[in-house]
Amino acid sequence: MTADVLSGYFASILQGALLTVGVSLAALVVSVALGLLGAAAKLSGRPLLVTLATVYTTLVRGVPELVLMLLIFYGGTIGLNNLLEWAGSGSSVDINPFFAGVLTIGFIYGAYMTETFRGAILSIPKGQMEAAWAFGMGNVRTFLRITAPQMVRYALPGFTNNWLVLIKATALISLIGLQEMTYLAKQASAATREPFTFFLFAAGLFLLYTSISLWALRWLDRRYSMGVKRGRA
């Protein structure tokens, strides 16, 4: 195998690595949105919302990620096509692997974000929110000015763990046909019969992503904990 051929495979995996970043960031947006909604539902005190949020988090945390991904991707495709057939449409639908991957991973990690945000909000002294309401602040303003800044500090450790696992979970999307770096590394290893070389390269890229993420999130944690550390000193 010539060096030019090998370098071509490495360049292809690097292109797939950019797609991995895109999937990770898009899934993060979905998971944060679902996490905030789930935490709000669990803390709302309304039985129906609490039950729905509890079923969501219990289901996701109790079923393996791979099984959920296959169920959503293939089950979603079959469900949509059956619905179109029932509606009398002769067309069929194929779910885009990128959107399927983003929505599936976002849906899965939204459950973990729900518990992270719920725990962070519960860590904030309730008297602070009551004081804000006493000063005439509405719920939205209280959340933005009082709850959210403190929630970020309490949520960052759990958020960091969820984000790191989410990045690694994008490798599962290769099973539904998305040509991200794990999929391309597998193709390269099959074509060249050098699996160790290309999977080690993909592993190094994942390690690079997680290391950069850890550095950035630790900096953010120090920034949000700055006043607390000074107060304790």
Q: 3-class secondary structure for 199-214?
A: HHHHHHHHHHHHHHHH
Provide the whole-model pTM: 0.85
* For helices 47-62 and 97-122, angle between their N-to-C axes, nearest 10 degrees: 120
Degrees (nearest 5) of the Cα angle 139, 225, 168? Answer: 90
Q: String of b and e for 89-105 (b: at least 16 CB within 10 Å)?
A: eeeeeebebbebbbbbb
- Confidence bin at 232 (pLDDT 50/70/90): very low
| Residues 6+ positions from 157 with CB-CB distance below 8 Å | 221
Supply the pLDDT for residue 230.
47
More confident: 145 or 113: 113
pLDDT band at residue 233, thresholds of 50, 70 and 90? very low
What percentage of the chain exceeds 90 in pLDDT? 36
Residue 6's pLDDT is: 66
Residue 5 above 70 pLDDT?
Answer: no
Does 136 score more than 80 pLDDT? Answer: no
| 43-53 tens-digit pLDDT | 888 999 999 99
Residue 231 has pLDDT above 50, yes or no: no
Q: Kindly report the CATH number that applies to the domain delimited by 3-227.
A: 1.10.3720.10
**pLDDT tens for residues 14-46?**
999 999 999 999 999 999 999 999 999 998 889
More confident residue, 92 or 117: 117
Percent of the chain with pLDDT over 70: 92
More confident residue, 124 or 94: 124
Instruction: Look at 1 and 125; give whichever has higher pLDDT.
Output: 125
